[in-house]
Amino acid sequence: MRIVFAGTPEFAVPCLRAAANKAEIVAVYTQPDRPAGRGRGLTPSPVKREALARGIEVLQPENFRSQVSRDALAALKPDLMVVVAYGLILPQAVLDIPEHGCWNVHASLLPRWRGAAPIQRAIQAGDAETGVCLMRMEKGLDTGPVLLSQATPIGPEETGGQLHDRLAELGAQVLADGLGLLRATLLPVARPQPAEGVTYAHKLDKAEARLDWSRPAVELADTVRAFNPWPVAEAPLAGERVRIHAATALPLAHGRAPGTVLLAGRDGIDIACGEGALRVRTLQREGGKPVAAADYLNGRRELLAAGTA
């Protein structure tokens, strides 16, 4: 099989490796190099670095609006195009070019969490389960029929970064299974997505990372997990703003104003919420590094008295 692969971030790299083990990758499409780091120098995407290391041709068009860009894709004569977190909407004219169309690996159990941030939204919503789907692409946003899927539980302490890495590997496994079936001329049965249960995983916004102590502690704990390692939850804590990397919800009936420090010690800093309390276990002061609550308290001994506002 002649496959064109399209992807950009680290999440797509395991799928690129899986595809390269199953077929000939004739070209890789990825987003143009973007400024990154303190020097803001142009930086290649993780997918580009992996492709170049494998000696695969890399193409980086801004989009596929021009006939020239579509003709370049057609000239590759792909049997299939595999798309994983590419970052561009593909028009129907592109979806129609490969003989077997375009397949997409999506990090949710569709139709739940269509869109840009399915991993973080699943954790933030308190979902007990998520997974990956291998989908045949249509013009709509993640609306195509599902070819294969694999579910997995979300751990009670699992962060967005940890789940990202697990789903990246699971997606590669599902893609490999699909490509194996296609090579054996056993095309997976395409199952239309049900109309019920559709939710959208909107792109993460840094403004969402600001915790509101009036919310239930369970919701805040899920947000802390979901937004680790980016954009990282932040909140006011006894007069200063801190970033919160790890926290646990406690079912406490406290009767105190949201944001009040209820207890501070080696196990964490318990903050009153609208319902229950949030035990902050790892946090970061402005300009500092993430530290355990016990280390943070070494610099704020006044908080060791329970009930400090």
* Domains 2-201 and 206-304 belong to one CATH topology: no
Q: What is the mean pLDDT of the chain?
A: 95
pLDDT in tens, 108-167: 999 999 999 999 999 999 999 999 999 999 998 999 999 999 999 999 999 999 999 999
What pLDDT is recorded for position 182? 95
What pLDDT is recorded for position 130? 98
Question: pLDDT band at residue 308, thresholds of 50, 70 and 90?
Answer: very low
Q: Which residues contact 13 (CB under 8 A, 6 or more apart)?
A: 7, 46, 47, 50, 168
pLDDT at 84 over 70: yes
Please identify, in words, the CATH class of the domain defined by 2-201: alpha beta
Q: Which residues contact 63 (CB under 8 A, 6 or more apart)?
A: 69, 88
Q: Is 111 annotated as a binding-site member? A: yes
Q: Is 108 annotated as a binding-site member? A: yes
Q: What is the dihedral of CA 231, 232, 236, 242, to 10 degrees?
A: -120
In the chain, where the domains are located = 2-201, 206-304
What pLDDT is recorded for position 303? 87
Question: pLDDT band at residue 302, thresholds of 50, 70 and 90?
Answer: confident
Q: Which residues contact 171 (CB under 8 A, 6 or more apart)?
A: 11, 14, 15, 84, 105, 107, 132
Q: Tokens 């792909």, residue?
A: 78
Q: Tokens 């991993």, residue?
A: 119
pLDDT at 216 over 90: yes
Q: Tokens 């977190």, residue?
A: 85
SS3 state at 289 = coil
What pLDDT is recorded for position 306? 55
Which DSSP category does 97 fall into?
S
pLDDT at 309 over 60: no
pLDDT in tens, 18-56: 999 999 999 999 999 998 877 778 899 999 999 999 999
Question: What average pLDDT does range 215-238 have in this prediction?
Answer: 97
Q: Is 179 annotated as a binding-site member? A: no
Return the HEC string of 224-280. Answer: HHHCCCCCCEEEEECCEEEEEEEEEEECCCCCCCCCCEEEEECCEEEEECCECEEEE
Q: Check if CATH label 1.10.3720.10 holds for domain 206-304.
A: no
What pLDDT is recorded for position 177? 97
Enter the pTM of the model. 0.94
